[in-house]
Amino acid sequence: MESATTEDHAGAIVNQIDLRLSEALAHTAQVTPASFPTFTRYLDADWIEQALSATGTATLRRRRLPADRVVWLVLGMALLRDRPIVEVVRHLDLALPAPGGTRTVAPSAVVKARARIGAAPLEWLYHRTAAEWAMTSADADRWRGLALWAVDGTTLRVPDSPENRAHFGGQAAGDRGASGYPSLRLVAVMAVRSHLLLTAGFGPYAIDERQYAQKMWHEIPDHSLVLLDRLYLQANVLCPLQTGGDDRHWLIRAKITSK
């Protein structure tokens, strides 16, 4: 009987936490960009559980900051970029209560919790949401029966460390030596109408963006039209895109020298 009472009490606490989390997210939506209510409305909580289960990072013992709360924390960090990580935990009321009723968490515990789950469940969740949202968006806004996608590349600075410089490299600064920060090269597949990303690839700056793009051609669905810039006008790049599926097309602006 005591065990059943304890389990009931734990269940009640979890329900209260879920309610407080929902209230906190609703409040946050009032003071953050429109992307936050989009997350709270469309991000299925079951996806988070599936991400943790699929990557073997689910919380096996009771913690003040369980793995599913840490995933919400990372999402909150992305949208509340100007706030310290511990403040995000407090703002979203993510921590479980201690026996004494306090809900505060030591800063070191928050950092350890973020490191504990690693990147794998967030990567899984990204691919799950991208496939759901981007595919649905492109399917709803077809042009002559074709889903519209765009592919392009860019560069991003990453934190300056010996490891990042060794792996990513960066732009040459001529006589001034290396660039101020190491840089990575990023290529993304985006739904044209909604600008939602279907997939992305990134890595060392020195690698041509077409190499990253070619690794993502299998993500392009059938019955689609892909918009690219003139850099991609190359047979060994475009032929795999067109022949790797059914009714897949590409569109590129002609070069000045083209006849």
**Least confident segment among 29-43, 87-101, 110-124:** 29-43
How many domains in the chain?
2
* One domain, residues 193 and 245: yes
Give residue 3's pLDDT.
44
**Least confident segment among 4-13, 75-84, 136-145, 207-216:** 4-13
* One domain, residues 53 and 104: yes
- Helix spans in 2-66 (H): 2-31, 35-42, 45-54
Please identify which residue in the block is written with the tokens 């599936």.
50
* One domain, residues 106 and 180: no
* One domain, residues 6 and 80: yes
Q: What one-character-per-residue DSSP string does 166-233 give?
A: HHH---B-GGG-B-SS-EEEEEEEEETTT--EEEEEEEETTS-HHHHHHTTGGGSPSSEEEEE-GGG-
Q: Among residues 87, 118, 149, which one ends one of the domains? A: 118
Whether this model's pTM surpasses 0.85: no
In a domain, 258, yes or no: no
* One domain, residues 157 and 222: yes
In a domain, 52, yes or no: yes
Q: Could you read off the pLDDT of 25-80 as tens digits, one per residue?
A: 555 555 454 445 555 666 777 888 888 888 877 665 556 667 777 787 777 777 77
Residue ranges making up the domain that contains 182: 136-252
Q: Among residues 118, 145, 161, which one ends one of the domains? A: 118
* One domain, residues 174 and 114: no
* One domain, residues 153 and 199: yes
Mean pLDDT of 109-138: 84
* One domain, residues 74 and 166: no
Q: Could you read off the pLDDT of 207-247 as tens digits, one per residue?
A: 999 999 999 999 999 999 999 998 999 899 999 999 998 99
Mean pLDDT of 117-129: 86
In a domain, 259, yes or no: no
* One domain, residues 105 and 7: yes
Sheet with 183-191, strands from edge to edge, namely 197-204, 183-191, 147-157, 224-228, 248-252
Beta strands in 106-161 (DSSP E): 147-157
In a domain, 257, yes or no: no
Q: Among residues 118, 147, 163, which one ends one of the domains? A: 118
In a domain, 178, yes or no: yes
Percent of the chain with pLDDT over 70: 67
* One domain, residues 140 and 68: no
* One domain, residues 205 and 100: no
In a domain, 69, yes or no: yes
* One domain, residues 105 and 157: no
What's the full length of the chain, in residues? 259
In a domain, 235, yes or no: yes
**HSE-CB of 51 using CA atoms within 13 angstroms:** 25
In a domain, 125, yes or no: no
pLDDT confidence band for 126 (50 / 70 / 90): confident
